[in-house]
Amino acid sequence: MQGLGLLLLLIALFWFWYTSTRAREVALKSVLKILHESGLQLLDGSIYLKKIWPTRLQSGVVGLLRFYHFEYTANGADRYRGLVVMAANQLEYLQIEKDGHSVVTTPPEDNEKV
């Protein structure tokens, strides 16, 4: 019986690791695309997880919202902070500042799914 519990725990940990990795990849891809289209550059080439929050997804199942922060620049001297939120493995929204104004991008209807 303990072996079954340990196996279930390992499966749950693997699932969490896999979905977190996939969500981060989709988030990074989205950030790079939006910044490139806006003429901005991602600093340090990475995003980092700020928090995870449980939520009910559009499909009705319970899932996780993952909040990622990143830094970007327009001229190489100034640093700005952005936010990307993933619902499961789908882009929920992405927020950046451009020319002193906050820009929020919502995903297109054909958002990448896992």
What pTM value is reported for the model?
0.80
pLDDT tens, position by position, 58-76: 888 888 999 999 999 988 8
User: How high is the pLDDT of residue 22?
Assistant: 93
Q: Quick one: how far is CA 57 from the chain centroid?
A: 15
Share of the chain above pLDDT 70, in %: 87
CA distance 5 to 82: 40
Per the CB < 8 A criterion, the answer to whether 67 and 52 are in contact is yes
Is residue 24 within 8 Å of residue 49, measured between CB atoms? yes
- Give the Cα-Cα-Cα angle 98, 83, 109 (nearest 5 degrees): 90
Residue-range definition of the domain harbouring residue 26:
2-105
Is position 114 within any domain? no
Residue 112 located in a structural domain: no
Domain count, the chain: 1
Domain assignment present for residue 85? The answer is yes
Query: pLDDT value at position 114?
Result: 37
pLDDT digits (tens, 9 = 90+) for 67-112: 999 999 988 888 889 999 999 888 888 988 776 666 777 665 544 4
How many residues are recorded in the chain?
114
